[in-house]
Amino acid sequence: MTLRSVLAGTGAALPRTRVSNEELAQRVDTSDEWIVERTGIRFRHIAEPDETTGTLGAAAARQALEAAGLEAADIGLIIVATATPDNTFPATATKVQAMLGAPDCIAFDVAAVCSGFLYAVSVADSMLRTGAAKHALVIGSETFSRILDWEDRATCVLFGDGAGAVVLSAEDVDDDRGILATRLHAEGQYCDMLYVDGGPSTTGTVGHVRMQGREVFRHAVTNLASVLGEVLADTGLSAADVDWVVPHQANRRIIDATAKKLGLPAERVVLTVDQHANTSAASVPLALDLAVRDGRIKRGDLVVLEAMGGGFTWGAAVLRV
Ligand code: ACO
User: Ligand 1: does its nearest atom lie under 6 Å from the Cβ of 38?
Assistant: yes
2-173: which CATH architecture?
Answer: 3-Layer(aba) Sandwich (3.40)
User: Ligand 1: does its nearest atom lie under 6 Å from the Cβ of 216?
Assistant: yes
Going by CA atoms, what residue is nearest to atom 11 of ligand 1?
Answer: 154
Which residues are bridge partners to 181 per DSSP? 318
Q: How far is the CA of 26 from the centre of ligand 1 (A)?
A: 19
Q: How far is the CA of 160 from the centre of ligand 1 (A)?
A: 16
Q: How far is the CA of 174 from the centre of ligand 1 (A)?
A: 48
Residue of 225, 200, 213, 289 whose CA lies nearest to 250: 213
pLDDT 10s digits, 41-71? 999 999 999 999 999 999 999 999 999 999 9
To which H or E segment does residue 142 belong?
strand 135-143
Q: With a cut of 50, which residues of the chain have pLDDT below it?
A: none
pLDDT 10s digits, 116-144? 999 999 999 999 999 999 999 999 999 99
The CATH fold of domain 178-320: Peroxisomal Thiolase; Chain A, domain 1 (3.40.47)
**Residue 293: what residue type?**
R
Domains 2-173 and 178-320 share a fold: yes
Q: How high is the pLDDT of residue 262? A: 87
CA 303 from chain centre, in angstroms, equals 15
The DSSP output letter for 309 is: E
Give domain limits for the chain: 2-173, 178-320
Q: How high is the pLDDT of residue 80? A: 99
User: Ligand 1: does its nearest atom lie under 6 Å from the Cβ of 39?
Assistant: yes
Q: Phi-psi region for residue 236, left (φ > 0), alpha (ψ -120 to 50) or beta?
A: left
How far apart CA 151 and CA 287 sit, in angstroms, is 29
**Residue 239: what residue type?**
A
User: Ligand 1: does its nearest atom lie under 6 Å from the Cβ of 83?
Assistant: no
Buried residues in 220-254 as b, exposed as e (16+ CB within 10 A): bbebbbbbbbebbeebebebeebebbbbbbbbbbb
- Catalytically active residues are 114, 248, 278
User: Ligand 1: does its nearest atom lie under 6 Å from the Cβ of 34?
Assistant: yes
Cis peptide, bond prior to residue 117, ω within 30 of zero: no
Q: How far is the CA of 154 from the centre of ligand 1 (A)?
A: 5
Q: How high is the pLDDT of residue 307? A: 98
